[in-house]
Structure 1
């Protein structure tokens, strides 16, 4: 599953990989923030709706209180407050309708509007009923005053009676009955106000003043009997009192019926108010349920997105770390093998990022070193063969020179036999000339081999310099990676600081910011893990620096050795040139010997001098042969040393 993704990432630069990783983390962080803002916005909208519902309930309570006040007092102020509360409720419902989109809540709001309309209609009915009740109340007060006026008239008549002994008792009884009548009228006046404040005003209004009116009528009848005993001639006041009391009873019945009608409308309004409160409570309950459901959904969404962000962040960090550390580890292993002299490793590099470029550079350096060390080894082998050949030629030359010296001594001691042995001397001279030619040829061949060795060693020095330049470039690339890692570390620290600030702000937000605080903590942990991965990469790059330094030191040592090899090879070339010159002298002397042999018979003394010269030349040749032998030994040691050094590299 990760194969195509790994191949795709391996071809991206480290900058793009890190940018993609941080972009993914920041995108998920932005998604979490958007989820949080959305959930917070939903919570705020729900709180606004609950506030509107609560305001509607408060208006309903105010409406009930003002309605009850208007029922009792029937004043314009309470009436205006009721109408204002109804208008406010209607306006509030119109404002609330666009805020709700749930079908259940919209139905409840429509029901509330219908109840408000019905309440307004019934309140109009209540106003009419209250107006009618007040009309009957005023009429009742007028009739009550008429009854009281007749009672006052009767009382005046009783007080104007002469104080006769037989009338005193009857008059006192009449006054008591008259006082009782007035008291019953006062009872009726007091009772007509009380039912409005009772728990069941309808039943109370139905019975208001009945007992007092019965008692008043009984007191009026007894008063008539008492006045008859006093033999009053003027009974108009008593008749007027009876008529006024009858009209007062009728007015009381009308008032009672009007008050009952008011209470019936009041009960209807109370029922409507209760229904409105129930609708408001149902709206509140439903909105709380919706709010709780939205909160649960938001929590689940935030938890899911946070878990996804954490998983993707960890996966991205793991993949990016693998994409960086794996090629770095392989490069470190390759550098360690090169530092140990193992150049046999060969691997195919398919990556096209900075790590792939680094691996390809290391691979090219390995191939160059392998080719260079192989060329040095081959040249060293050729040099060893040439040295062995040169040693053999030098030994042969030394033997020939020694033989020539002995023969020259024999010639010196046998000058008298020179003529007889001139042919043999000529033959020996020819052999010496051939040996000198061979020695000259071998010396030229040795000089050529040394020149080739010098060229190969100089090429080795050039390759070592190129390797040092490649390692320097590698060190520069490592430093670039280190600077990129510094940027990553800075971004991680800034992300950590931002997450900490977000957590502080979430803590200030209280309960509403708790979910955001959890997300901020997760982002902060992710930033810390990214910083830890960056520190691990820095440690790997430090190891790469150390390995590169070791390789550079080894290459510097190889360069010094190649320079020493060039110097020694040049010395060997100079020695071979001297050998060639000496061999050329030998060849010339041999020619002189041949000439002297031909002229030996004619000029013996000249031959003697030539023999002495030949002996001197032979001694020089022996000395040169000894020097050639020593140079061959040194050159062979140098070849062995080069072979040992090349052997340290496995190709």
Structure 2
């Protein structure tokens, strides 16, 4: 079995697959042959045997029917029954002919039965017609009947025997098909069991080979993982398949690993000493750099405080200068507003005096209008009186003065309306007069207040002019202070920037030292781990 061990796993599995396919194909071929034979048998039964059995059953019925029809025709002297008997004879004759065609082996026996049938039919038909016609010799009836009975018995026996043979053949064919199917089933079952056994044996063989090689590798790796393995230990190589190649390559890997571990062990001790020394020196350098960084931060904080103080002074001076400029602008604007107020107050005073004069004139005109209204009222009363007199005269004139009376009524009504309107106008003028008098009084007060406002505005303008001159002086001093503090702020900012750059340099150096210290600590840890790891292997 060395050839099987040296085969690759793929080829082993492929060989099992090919053999399985061959066995399956053989089983399939056997089953196919059995199925084809059964199909042929069933086809033969359907087309031949079943048809023969059916025709044989019909023949048994037809021959009995034929004898009964002839007997009934003679008994009842019925020609129609003879016709039916003749048709039955024809059907039976056709069946025998068909059987001779589809059953070549029984062709001779069927021909004899056909001849016996013809002989029986001829004899029986002649006997029946003779008895119906009364032309038959009664002395010969017994002899003819005996001969007919022998022929009928021979015909009946032949047809019955043929039927029994065909039924037996049908049963035999069915049994043969069943036996063949059963044999095919048993054979397929046996081949299937053989295939399963073969597959099981082949699978177990391959599984044992894979499990054995994999188990050796797993055990060796487990010992190495537990720190109990020996790198010089070699696995047993059985065969040249993939598992054998795995074992061989694993042995090569162990040899390579043993050599590598040996070289690592040789440099682990010097590496551990160097890592420890580097770690100590980096701790000293880091401590010194941290102290320098702390001092730089202290200087930076002091310069920042000074710079903030100078900036605050500069900012306050700038704000004071801006406030002074704003105050100067506001004072200038206020002075202009005051001057404008004085001018407007003067104009307002003049306008109020003009309005007061106009209202006085209005009051005088109102009194004139009152006089005119008195005249209009007097005219309206006289018109009303004249209209009344005219109406009285028209009434005296009778029918001739009717039109004049109408005109007199209209004139009197118009005079009444004029009098009413005059009263309303007088009422309005009275109200207007009262309002004019009130306005004249109010205007007098307004003229007094306007004069006082003009005087106060002039005083305010003088005060704002004095404030403006003082603000100009303050603004000049704030400008000098802001310039000086700005120069100090620039110097402080320059010094602070230098300190910041120095502090950043210390921070960068400290970061680099921290990284180097971390690397040295990691290197020291790696060296210890490497020493611990290499100590677990046996060389």
Normalized against structure 1, the TM-score is what? 0.38
